[in-house]
């Protein structure tokens, strides 16, 4: 059995990314390698820094929800005498329901997190 002072791992400063395939949801920001000796143990750490690309979630989840909420608020500005106020509110309620159906069909099935609209 070898001691720590007898074995040394030569690690490059960065992780090799030749086989890295770009992803649509994540981007590779940086990589690093660390080699450290503490007491009788040597540790090699490979650090991979990634960042989420928020465009998909913003355009498919957040923006439609904000627009539907603004339409609900603007519907209160319609005068009650117009017959379109009730039909607009019902249409917006159905839009929220369809939005929730589409949202749950795109999300992985789990019971850990339930949308607040569905509670």
- Same domain for 60 and 85, yes or no, is yes
In a domain, 74, yes or no: yes
> Over the stretch 63-77, which tens digit does the pLDDT of each residue have?
888 988 898 888 888
- Same domain for 99 and 67, yes or no, is yes
- Same domain for 44 and 78, yes or no, is no
Report how many domains make up the chain.
2
Distance CA 93, CA 83 (A): 17
- Would you call 43 exposed, middle or buried from its count of C-beta atoms within 10 A (0-12, 13-18, 19+)? exposed
Distance CA 46, CA 71 (A): 49
Range with the poorest average pLDDT among 17-21, 23-27, 66-70, 106-110: 106-110
Q: Which domain, by its residues, includes 91?
A: 55-108
- Same domain for 47 and 60, yes or no, is no
> Over the stretch 6-18, which tens digit does the pLDDT of each residue have?
777 788 889 888 8
In a domain, 97, yes or no: yes
């Amino acid at each position: 059995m070898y001691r720590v002072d007898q074995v040394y791992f030569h690690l490059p400063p960065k992780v090799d990314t030749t086989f890295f395939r770009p992803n649509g949801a994540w981007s590779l920001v940086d990589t690093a390698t660390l080699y450290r000796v503490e007491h009788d143990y040597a540790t090699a750490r490979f650090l991979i820094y990634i960042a989420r690309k928020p465009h998909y979630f913003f355009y498919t989840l957040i923006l439609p929800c904000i627009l539907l909420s603004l339409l609900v608020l603007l519907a209160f500005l319609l005068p009650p005498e117009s017959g379109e106020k009730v039909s607009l509110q019902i249409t917006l309620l159905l839009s929220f329901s369809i939005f929730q159906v589409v949202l749950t069909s795109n999300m992985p099935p789990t019971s850990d997190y339930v949308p607040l609209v569905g509670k």
